[in-house]
């Protein structure tokens, strides 16, 4: 019986690979791939958060904040302050995500860290946009009246993960 060129290539030892034959390497990689598929399949049951979903459709996974997945509940407050320019390099908001009630005023207060920052609602027609400022103590505020999720960012540092969320819960 004649061997095909594929069989000769698969079964012949490869040169320069520490004597490991190509078929063995393929089997190893195939096994790793199958294990990864089985492992991921077990993590994506219906209703569970996935890497793409998570809180707020995963937007906070890109946020540059140590505790970006936790949400601060401030539904009992008439006003909330969010620090602008926190973290090691000053490229984060604190808290990164906050829940409020309709009528709550959110005040962003600059820390002076990380250079110039602004706060821009992530929408085609932004509901709020602050000036680009660097000095500590500068504030910008917006009163949220309608329930919904409002994602915002700092335009110069968005690529660094300076992203936040205000969720206005219906009463």
Which of the residues are catalytic?
A: 117, 154, 157, 162
Q: Are 116 and 156 in contact (CB under 8 A)?
A: yes
For the CA atoms of 75, 163, 66, 98, the dihedral, rounded to the nearest 10 degrees, stands at 0
Give 27's Cβ-side CA count (13 Å radius): 7
For the CA atoms of 128, 129, 135, 137, the dihedral, rounded to the nearest 10 degrees, stands at -10
List b or e across 16-47, with b for residues whose CB sees 16 or more CB atoms inside 10 angstroms: eeeeeeeeeeeeeeeeeeeeeeeeeeeeeeee
CA–chain centroid gap for 144, Å, is 23
Q: Are 130 and 140 in contact (CB under 8 A)?
A: yes
CA–chain centroid gap for 166, Å, is 15
């Amino acid at each position: 019986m004649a061997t095909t060129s594929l069989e000769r290539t698969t079964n012949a030892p490869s040169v320069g690979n520490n004597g490991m034959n190509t078929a063995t390497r393929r089997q190893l990689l195939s096994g790793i791939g199958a294990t990864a598929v089985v492992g991921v399949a077990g993590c994506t049951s219906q209703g569970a958060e996935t890497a793409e979903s998570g809180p707020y459709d995963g937007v906070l996974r890109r946020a540059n904040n140590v505790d970006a997945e936790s949400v601060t509940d401030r539904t009992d407050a008439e006003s909330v302050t969010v620090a602008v320019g926190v973290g090691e390099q000053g490229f984060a908001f604190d808290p990164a995500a906050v829940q409020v009630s309709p009528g709550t005023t959110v005040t962003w207060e600059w820390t002076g860290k990380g250079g110039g920052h602004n706060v821009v609602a992530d929408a085609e027609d932004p509901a709020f946009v602050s000036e680009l400022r660097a000095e500590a103590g500068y504030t910008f505020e917006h009163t949220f009246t309608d329930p919904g999720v409002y994602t915002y960012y700092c335009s110069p540092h968005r690529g660094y993960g300076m992203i936040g969320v205000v969720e206005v819960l219906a009463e």
